[in-house]
Amino acid sequence: MEYYFGILQTLGFHVLLGYSAYILLLTGQLSLAQVGFFAIGAYASGILTVLFEWHIFPALFIGAIAAGCMAFMVGFPALRIKGLMLVIATIAFSEIVRLIFFNLRWRFEINGLEVGPDGAQGFREIRYFAANGWEIYEIVWLIWTMVAVATILLWWLDQIKAGAILRAIGSDELAAESSGINVTSVKIVAMACGGVIAGLSGGLYAHSTTYVDHNTFTVLLATFAVSYPLVGGLKSVFGTLAAVIFIQGILIEGLRFLGDYRTILFGALIILVMNFKPKGIVDENFVKGISEYLRLNKKLIK
């Protein structure tokens, strides 16, 4: 049973990471900085619960806000460029963050044990859940509560004017700017919101796995983050959720016996979707089909 709870935890982290990329992709910007914000949330919240013995909830909140603030600051220079240059700039940022944590050594002796980030050895003592008697199902409940809240908020965002503004920028920046939208400001806010979600995901990940190091925050993880909304589609936040379940739940976990060949399948999936479903699996036709199906069923029930 613990194996399945572990899978649910993994899915939860990746859904939040996918959401952090989704909100920026709505504005038409492809960023690989999400893994850097994920790392900031992981280390910041871990330091607060381990070195300063904070409660988990304020630690997660501060970790997420720290990541969001960094995203806000990165957004000013990064989002003035676009396309390939933005991808390169955000990869560089994530690598800088990774190397900072690779060199970070901040150790204290607490209750006779030396704890804290230990450079290349990583951060090994993030044991808040075990130390406070949390059961694994309670951890899963916490993670998926956060996922549910993020899903509802992003769905609601799509229903109001803010969502229309994000999509307008993603469709045509020049037209959006000519209609009075401050394109740069909206992109920066979207980047900051994505940073908060990624930071929250990182904090939950660090406390669930009890250990993080610089090797956790790789370009592959950043690639996963942007692939979920691209494969799932930007028409609805539920596309990202479906893509995570398929990629992580079926392709990565369900086909574990294939070993490294799963990476080839992942690459093939991206190529197929980009060629045959460029707007993602959950596109306009999919949404219309579901709506029509529900409408017909409602008529039959009546």
Q: Which two tokens stand for residue 165?
A: 């503004």
Residue 83 DSSP class: T
> Are residues 53 and 23 in contact, defined by beta-carbon separation less than 8 angstroms?
no
Taking the C-alpha atoms of residue 120 and residue 102, their distance in angstroms, rounded to an integer, is 5
Q: Where are the domains of the chain?
A: 2-228
Residue 214 DSSP class: G
Q: Which two tokens stand for residue 194?
A: 């994505």
pLDDT (tens place) for every residue of the chain, 302 residues total: 788 899 999 999 999 999 999 999 999 888 999 999 999 999 999 999 999 999 999 999 999 999 999 999 988 887 777 777 888 889 999 999 999 999 999 988 888 888 999 999 999 889 999 999 999 999 999 999 999 999 999 999 989 999 999 999 988 888 898 888 999 889 999 999 999 999 999 999 999 999 999 999 998 899 999 999 999 888 889 999 999 998 998 888 888 887 777 878 888 888 888 777 777 776 655 555 555 545 666 555 55
- Dihedral angle computed from the Cα positions of residues 48, 72, 215 and 55, in that order, rounded to the nearest 10 degrees: 20
Taking the C-alpha atoms of residue 193 and residue 174, their distance in angstroms, rounded to an integer, is 23
Residue 57 gets the label, from left (phi > 0), alpha (psi -120 to 50) or beta, of: alpha
Element (H, E) at 110: strand 108-110
CA 92 to chain centre: 18
Residue 31 gets the label, from left (phi > 0), alpha (psi -120 to 50) or beta, of: beta
